[in-house]
Homo-oligomer: A and B are copies of this chain.
Amino acid sequence: MFPGEKEIYFNVAISVSLVLFGFDGEKLRILLRKKKREPFPGAWLLPSMYIKSDEGIDSKVGKLVFVHTQKEHIFVEQLKAFAKVFRNPLGRVVNIAYYATVKLDDKLWEHSKDRGEEWIEYSKIPDLAFDHNEIIDYAKERLKRRVKRRPIGFYLLPEHFTISQLQKLYETALNREMDKRNFRKKIFNSQLIVETDLTDNSASRKSAKLYKFDEEKYEKLSSKGYDFLF
């Protein structure tokens, strides 16, 4: 690039979008909001923001995640850049898409509601503005792959969870049904969850044992090149 050419190149904007996955114990969901301003007022879309040229992206994404989750230590990862020429009528905008996972509890549900945002079921995503449907499809694929190899499923669950909840989460993310006995065998074999003395009887007449994720053990295993693999 020659000095006089700078104007030809430095006239693009950066935005980030966030595919936030939440699991309510029953269903996997994605957070969406309705657009207020031009372009596309009234359309559904992913939580997004523009980035100024002197702003670091990681910190802005961290803030975006916090605003929508009210939690720290959330798993966040970049998906990729979406950069088609005509994505956005305002001009050339490169959208760098991220995804994150959060435990979706009642408090968070209320918080999102107060902000005018909604947790939409994983399998019922409506038509969105821009290319956000494409971004969600990509995020779902990534989640599928990650969930197979790393226990990120646990980051979607409350601290204490039943095996059924865990199985439902995996079934949704991987989009297939699993055998209850084989699932339990595999999970217990993995040594990554520990029994608690708590029970849950909200979902059934018979009460179910609650388990929790053994994060310490996971750190140990993963540092030895451990593979989870569903």
Contact of A81 among B11, B13, B50, B78 (CB under 8 A): B78
The reply to whether B14 and A11 form a contact with Cβ atoms under 8 Å apart is: no
Interface size range of chain A in the complex: 20 to 34
Quick one: CB contact mask for A6-36 with B, threshold 8 Å, 1 for yes?
1011111110000000000000000000000
Query: How far, in whole Å, are A94 and B50 apart by their CA atoms in the complex?
Result: 14
* Bitwise interface map of A from 87 to 101 toward B, beta carbon under 8 Å scored 1, else 0: 000111010100000
Q: How many copies does the complex hold?
A: 2
- The answer, yes or no, to whether A125 is at the interface (CB within 8 Å) is no
Known contacts A91-B6, A94-B94: A53-B11 contact under CB 8 Å: yes
Q: A residues bordering B, Cβ < 8 Å?
A: 1, 6, 8-14, 37, 50-57, 78-81, 83-85, 90-92, 94, 96
Q: Could you show 6 A-B contacts with beta carbons less than 8 Å apart?
A: A1-B90, A8-B52, A9-B51, A10-B12, A53-B91, A94-B96
